[in-house]
Amino acid sequence: MSHPLKKRSYGFTLIEVLVALVIVALGVAAAMSALLSAANGTDRLRERTYAEWVAINRITETRIDASFPALGRTEGVSRMADKDWQWRQDIRATAIEGVVQIIVEVRSQGSESWIVTLSGARGRDVVSAQSADGLWDTAERAQP
């Protein structure tokens, strides 16, 4: 026979339930923090990608411009992805005569720090467009 004062109880106490709820709340908070961090990383990556495209466009425009770039610094604003991007371009001399270095820095409009810095180069044209026809004529005549 069982003793009347000895009761077996099944289930959880209030303290055990509260401890379990605290553990679940901490886990959910950590998961939300990780998701927020991933979302912020995606935004930074998107901004950096657009800034790189602005810098690449600036270097390309300098390379294909008909006139050879003058040494010095120029600044401007480009629009990409419905946003204004501020760029700063430095043209510097190199150790190779007729070749300049193009350094472009880009940041979002109103930002304090530059997001991207890219470098390229441009050399003086070896053959002008006007004399190219003469070179091709000479090359054709040289063939047997």
- Is-contact 92 103, C-beta < 8 A? yes
Structure confidence at residue 74 (pLDDT): 97
Encode the chain (144 residues) as per-residue pLDDT tens digits.
Answer: 556 666 677 778 889 999 999 999 999 999 999 998 888 888 899 999 999 999 999 999 999 998 999 999 999 999 999 999 999 999 999 999 999 999 999 999 888 999 999 999 999 876 555 555 555 554 454 455
The residues that bridge with 123 in the sheet, in sequence order, are 99
Decide if 58 contacts 87 (C-beta within 8 A). yes
pLDDT value for 81: 92
Tokens found for residue 19: 């401890």
Six-digit token string for 105: 């820095």
125-133 contacts: CB < 8 A, separation 24 or more? none
The Cα–Cα gap between 50 and 76 comes to: 16
Residues 88, 106: Cα–Cα separation, whole Å = 7
Question: What is the reported pTM?
Answer: 0.66
Residue type, 39: A
**Residue-level pLDDT at 37:** 87
Which tokens belong to 81?
A: 């992805």
- Where in the chain are the domains? 14-125
Residue 94: which residues within 8 A CB-CB, separation 6 or more? 100, 101, 121
What pLDDT sits at residue 125?
75
DSSP conformation class of 112: S
Superfamily of domain 14-125: GSPII I/J protein-like (3.30.1300.30)
DSSP state of 71: S
Calpha distance 90→70 (Å, rounded): 10
Q: What is the pLDDT of residue 5?
A: 62
